Amino acid sequence: MEVLFRPTNATAAASELSLKPPRSGCLVHRVNQGLVFLHLKSYYLRSFSFCTLLPPSSHSFTSAIHSVPDSRVSEEVSSDSREWALQDFYSLRRDVEIVSNRVEEIRSSAGLEQLERELVDLELKASDSSFWDDRTKAQKILLALNDVKDKIKQLSDFKTQVEDAETIIKLTEEMDSVDGGLLEEATDIIKELNKALDRFELTELLSGPYDKEGAVISITAGAGGTDAQDWADMLLRMYMRWGEKQRYKTRIVEKSMGEEAGIKSATIELEGRYAYGYISGEKGTHRIVRQSPFNAKGLRQTSFSGVEVMPLLPEESMDVEIPEEDLDISFSRAGGKGGQNVNKVETAVRITHIPTGVTVRCTEERTQLANKIKAMSRLKAKLLVIAEEQRASEIKQIRGDVVKAEWGQQIRNYVFHPYKLVKDVRTGHETSDIISVMDGELEHFIKAYLRYKYTKSSNGED
């Protein structure tokens, strides 16, 4: 998440800094700084839209400049080291500001007040005289109580720590000297705090019941012939690259080739912690706009490919019973005489859950039975995920119409021509570096989506 916050604050800081005209007496240094800031500015201004939403920086940079006397800066002898100290101080102060905002953001989005109410409630329950009558229930409550306490403590620790760092900054500003030791301490605090915040956010953002699991990604070429099949193949490569970069165990388990080029469909399995949590937001329709190499006239063409993501759940963890009459199981080896007359490796199995219309197909295994078992387990995983998304407590409550609409939703545009742009429809996150994205650089998109999902769900709860 820091990716999202840093630029925004830094933009504010950087623009303020660069607006400050260089003053006499320390021209050289100022020019240097100007260059640095200019660079920063051009880098960060790309995300300018974020900046407008932000509250103005609480610390005025001007005061910092004043608080460091010009004479000190312009002293020739130790100018190098002092220049660095000054730079360090600036960047440290910026870091502290960023982290301070980040802490505020996290404390509010984690629902601190709500947590405190929960704590009171749980403590009340725990102090009840009949508390230990039901041991299992008591254990559960105690566990929940611990969790809430931990969380509150973490959140208040964040605040104390960032306040410590802020105090050091204020102190430095007010004092006429730079205390290396103190600044060192603040730097350490910020470093550790950032790590802790990352961890906290990760567990918050990836707190879905299946987020820890591995993932199954299925890619299906949409209508659009060879161009769409080639697009599906490009997506396959993108996710393979992403998986490899994350050091997940990545395996293509099924791949059905297109007639001329590309693929009709493919399925990848990613094994590794949090694979599902990260990649689940990729599900939906991905749209490409380009001058198709498969179009004789070289005209601009739009194609689509569908991506589905399911958790890779161990069979025993899926406690779902689906009544047989709700299932429509079909096998590819239908039609014709079958039996001894035919020898074809048609082992594909397709299962449709009739009430919701959710369908899975499994072709990768070498026997029908194995494909049926695998298809069943994928179907269960899919239904569980949908139930969770719809906050349905049972498969029976899933609303099929909603599934259809949601799973096919267009989520991202990849424009190769006439300009280069990848833009997520949901989060608005975008980049012109389409090559890196196709090489599996999905981190920013994924984080933006997780953030978006998190904000959406916490708003929804309020």
Partner 1 sequence: MTASYRLSSLCITTSIFSSHGTRQMKVRLTGFGGLSTFIRPPLHRLKSTPCALSSSVLFSSSSPPASQSHQVPLFLRVPKYATPVSDLQKWYSWASDLAASVGSTFLVSDNGPDSSLLCRELRWLLEDALQEDIDPSLIHQVGVNSAQREVNLKTGIEDLYKLWIQRIEERRPFQYIVGCEHWRDLVLCVQEGVLIPRPETEIIIDLVADVISSNRVLKEGFWADLGTGSGAIAIGTARALGGCGTVIATDLSPVAVKVASFNVQRYGLQGVVEVREGSWFEPLKDVQGKLAGLVSNPPYIPSENIPGLQAEVGRHEPKLALDGGVDGMDHLLHLCQGAASMLRTGGFFALETNGEKQSKLILDYMEKEHRGTFYNAKAVPDFAGVLRFVTAFRV
The contact set with partner 1 (CB under 8 A) reads: 250-252, 255-257, 259, 264, 329, 331, 333-347, 363, 365-370
Residue with tokens 């609409």: 405
Shortest CB 368 distance to partner 1, Å? 4
Helix 443-461, helix 79-109: angle, nearest 10: 40
As given in the structure block, the two tokens for residue 442 are 């999905």
The token pair at 84 is 């660095």
Residue 168 or residue 379: which is nearer to partner 1 going by CB? 379
Nearer of residues 297 and 344 to partner 1, judged by Cβ: 344
CB of 224 to partner 1, least distance (A): 19
| Closest CB 452 distance from partner 1, rounded Å | 32
CA–CA distance, 46 with 94 (Å, rounded to integer)? 19
Task: Please report how close the Cβ of residue 435 comes to partner 1 at its closest, in angstroms.
Answer: 16
Nearest approach, Cβ of residue 367 and partner 1 (Å): 5
The residue written with tokens 């404390």 in the block is: 107
Torsion angle defined by CA atoms of residues 112, 118, 119 and 121, in that order, rounded to the nearest 10 degrees: 150
Paired with 414 in beta bridges are: 288, 422
CB of 308 to partner 1, least distance (A): 20
Alpha-carbon gap, residue 371 to 369, rounded angstroms: 5
Q: By C-beta, is 21 or 335 nearer to partner 1?
A: 335
Nearer Cβ to partner 1 (172/347): 347
Omega within 30 of 0 (cis) for the link into 418: yes
Judged by CB, which is closer to partner 1: 344, or 391? Answer: 344
Closest distance of CB 240 from partner 1, Å: 8
Cβ atoms 165, 192 nearer than 8 A: no
Three-class SS state of 408 = coil
List Cα–Cα distances, 410 to 238, 291, 304, 458, in angstroms: 18, 20, 9, 23
Cα–Cα distance list, 82 to 23, 85, 308 (Å): 18, 5, 56
- Indicate the SS3 state at residue 413: strand
Which of 271, 275, 216 is CA-nearest to residue 249?
Answer: 271
* Least distance from partner 1 to the Cβ atom of residue 253, Å: 9
φ, ψ of residue 431 in degrees (nearest 5)? -150, 150
CB closer to partner 1, 82 vs 264: 264
Cross-strand pairs, 306: 220, 285
Closer to partner 1 by Cβ: residue 172 or 267: 267
Specify the residue, 171 or 329, whose C-beta has the smaller distance to partner 1.
Answer: 329
